[in-house]
Amino acid sequence: MKLSVLDQSPVPEGSTGAEALRNTIDLAELADELGYERYWVAEHHGTPMLAGPAPEVLIGPIAAATQRIRVGSGGVMLPHYSPLKVAESFSILSGLFGDRIDLGLGRAPGTDPETMFALQRDRRQAVAHDDFPEQLAELIAYLDDEFPRGHRWARLGASLPGPHRPELWLLGSSPQSAIWAAEFGLPYAFADFINPRNGELAQAYRAAADTPRVAVAVSAICAESDEEAQELAASMRMAWALMRSGRLAAVPTVERARRFLAENGSGASPGRRAVVGSPATVRAGLEEVAAEYGADEVIVVTITHDHGARRRSYELIAAALAG
């Protein structure tokens, strides 16, 4: 089973977004050394908890700082953008870094409705319909230079840098994303950390796709013992609880999170799950989730207040799954 990283560039309480971005570069270098398959950075807007609104900007510095790991987006939220602009940006990255670049695409806004509206170029009215399939088809046509003869934009695909192109993935957490991934012949990465226990969607994709490839993104924290890992996870659980109530904040310290959870409940989050524990516990948990989805690859997303603890978690997971 392949192991990869999804980094949301969490901002620890008492730190800054700039430091969170430097932590992302540092963690990518470690993941490269540890043998992880790919390193994806996310797109989120308008939140003090996460520092990564522009994966296309982060990918270049990460790829330059690493040697062999694949680097990409997890993902670019395509409804915000022109397909041509996305194709141009990732063609440049592929031109610079060859076959190491992934373009993971999502349909979700990655933010609240007000921020989504602010991201629109044309603000005369909110977007009234979902044209994601049309956007995706146009993007693929640019990258493959396969517009029909005589198409008004046929020349634009040929203008992109070559000869490399990014590897496309469709990201999702819904039945519709599984359908589109199969229809477009794309590898499919399911966000279990957002919408857990949906292995049947991955199985439906496998049944419909000609050459299926499934990855599952899982929230996980690993430490030397189950007790230490559960303590570290308090920060993540408080952040989830605040997010559910519409209160956005930086990732809290363990001490503050423990007090919060003691006063407000255990921190069990409806609609969320995380694999938390010692190396043996996390290995068993990740293998169980992978089996549920029939996944060839697990993409681990880890949020802790302390960057050193996050580094150590990925070290322990790599060693546990290698053994």
Q: Burial, 72: exposed, middle or buried (Cβ in 10 Å; 0-12, 13-18, 19+)?
A: buried
Peptide bond into 48 cis (omega under 30): no
Identify the bridge partners of residue 154 per DSSP, sorted by sequence position. none
Rounded Cα gap, residues 174 and 179, in angstroms: 9
- What tokens does 65 get? 């700082």
Residues with Cβ within 8 Å of 164's Cβ and at least 6 positions away in sequence, in order, are 94, 95, 98, 99, 101
Query: From first to last of its 323 residues, what are the pLDDT tens digits of the chain?
Result: 999 999 999 999 999 999 999 999 999 999 999 999 999 999 999 899 999 999 999 999 999 999 999 999 999 999 889 999 999 999 999 999 999 999 999 987 656 777 666 776 666 666 655 789 999 999 999 999 888 777 888 888 878 887 899 999 999 999 999 999 999 999 999 999 999 999 999 999 999 999 999 999 999 999 999 999 999 999 999 999 998 888 889 999 999 999 999 998 765 555 578 999 999 999 999 999 999 999 999 999 999 999 999 999 999 999 999 96
Identify the pLDDT of residue 167.
Answer: 97
Q: Cite the DSSP H helix spans in the chain.
A: 17-34, 55-65, 83-97, 113-119, 132-144, 154-158, 175-184, 199-208, 226-244, 254-264, 279-293, 307-322
Residue 269 confidence (pLDDT): 56
Separation between Cα atoms, residue 11 and residue 26, nearest integer Å: 14
| Nearest in space to 189 (alpha carbons), one of 215, 226, 207, 228 | 215
The confidence score (pLDDT) of residue 154 equals 82
By C-alpha distance, which of 38, 12, 35 is closest to 23?
Answer: 12
DSSP 180-193: HHHHHT--EEEETT
CATH, residue 229: 3.20.20.30
Structure tokens at 100: 């190491």
Total number of domains in the chain = 1
Residue 103 pLDDT: 98
CA distance 261 to 18: 28
Domain holding 161, by residue range, is: 2-322
